[in-house]
Chain A
Amino acid sequence: MGIIVDENTKVIVQGITGREGSFHTRLMLQYGTKVVAGVTPGKGGTTVEGVPVYDTMDEAVKAHPDANTSIIFVPAKFAADAVFEAIDAGIKTIVVITEHIPIHDAMAFVNYAKEKGSIIIGPNCPGIINPGKTKVGIMPANVFTPGPVGVMSRSGTLTYEVSYFLSKAGLGQSTVIGVGGDPITGLTFPEVAEMFERDPQTKAIVMVGEIGGDAEERVAKMVKEGKIRKPIVAFIAGRTAPEGKRMGHAGAIIMLGTGAYKDKVAALEDAGVRVAITPYEIPKLVSEALKRA
């Protein structure tokens, strides 16, 4: 099983002719992802890696009515427009890789998607992979293996890091999803945690969080309330980050008295969630959790 995407997922790549779009289309195809079409305004009628390119999402879905997912490599300035276009074309899962999208734009399309029943993953995220089945994202595929661990993360690179060490320890993944590092994202940890809770393949959840925001605290609350019963192992990046400084991207900042490392860890431990001090302890904690479960 796994969540959100599987071997039947049919993908349209928005911004397919760009540097990243074409490069990652090739890698997704190599992984076995069913990329059925691409969209770049003005490039309709061409192909990229054998995938037909259209000028609009409307044309793309008319030619490929089974397409249900899109992945967006469109530059930040035009990315919001691409997301609205995908929602209006009836796409149900939209993965937004683009970083530096204005927060107000993200707020608008995330709310619109919710109204129309579409799921947004990202923005500013590595995407989603169901190892061995499909990959809709930019992650290096070789670090993932199929298995029982659901991984959700706010950081792209840490997602790879953690999955690599899980795989090395013989702990495969059901689905790995990067929700994105921006202040406003489509899917959030609490929502993904609920999906993992319902997914029969997932036996344990790894949450790779970071300072800023309160998504990790809200997951802790769900565990406490018994809404999440599967074991969770958490890691929070930014233990030594100075307060009030923006660490690289917009999400990781401690503001208005929320989002500090110690508050997140305290909330998680209070709910009985094991918190790893380094990402490299995660496999050990996950094995222990799986044995107990």
Chain B
Amino acid sequence: MTALSQRIESFLREKKCALPEIGLLQPAEPILNTAGEDIRRRIFITADQRGRDLCLRPEFTIPVCLSHLESGKARKRYGYVGKVFRQRADEPAEFLQAGIEDIGTEKKGAADVRCLADCIDLLRMLGRNRLSVAVGDQAIFEAVLKSLGLPKAWRERLGRNFGDSTRLTADLDRLSGKNNGSLDHLAPELARAVEAGDREAVEKAIARDMKKAGLPPQSGRTAEEIAARLMEKAALAAAHLVPEKREVLEAFLDLDMPLKDANRRLWSFARRANIPLGKALEAFHKRAVALEKLDLDNVSLRYRAGFGRTLDYYTGFVFEVRGGSSDAKPLAGGGRYDRLMTVLGSRQKMPATGFAVYVDRVKPKLKETPGTMEARP
């Protein structure tokens, strides 16, 4: 282990984190199931003699969460430092990452604040003092969608692409157009049942089609599920996103300001657009106040309403830290991923938040601290 890794480990211990043993080789299945097929091209996959897919550890969050689940503990904070392996366009595929995962802490606001504070501390320890942080919050976006009275199917689609402005614009275009789902491909009998709103008949017709095709009834989509979505689609077929609501959404996504102004600006936005954001804003405000109380010497905090992560297990507060606001690549990123533990098989919901530092991008210059060696990267 290098002196740099040792120094980071003692930092993590000072932060009262457990340091679990996470192997270089990880089962690929949970990672592919969680992040989706697309990640296959970015990780290094191999197989063992029994044909089980393994991969070189592409990140720490999922393995840490899995080991937490196995431990059966309710809550714990974990720290890690080590090599991760990902195929990247213009950076080495093997690089050092360090971070903290805080699993099971119910006081979400406090955990969010601590997460960002620890991240800033770690970057400072590595010699980076001037930092600019962008924060976002999926919960606020979802509150906006809800208070605009958008149908659930639309909210889910937009929520899923939150953080990807290109995709979001394409969604808005599609929803703004008329005829979002044509039903003219349906067999006449089924079409009549849909038109009559006869849920039972729709379900029956679909079940019959499934049987005819020999689809196994135990796996995959059920007739009930298909019927429900078909009816919902039919109900929305003629609907479209009206320009006034689209304007509100676009105005929201454009909000970008110092975090200390965010609360006031969000309130006035909500008032002007005449949408109640009360609850979501309260949590946002409390967290923002706590964040402003941190030692923020040389650190600028900005809120960007459109900033989020497209992975579906991220649910709320997210952040990204750069050395200067013009840096192309972030030095660190983090956020709340309350849905991940259930995706990985937890029966109970388990709130979780964490961050990862790209140690190589930081180009660490360690300060001499008593009792530790000075390290060169």
* A is bound by B: no
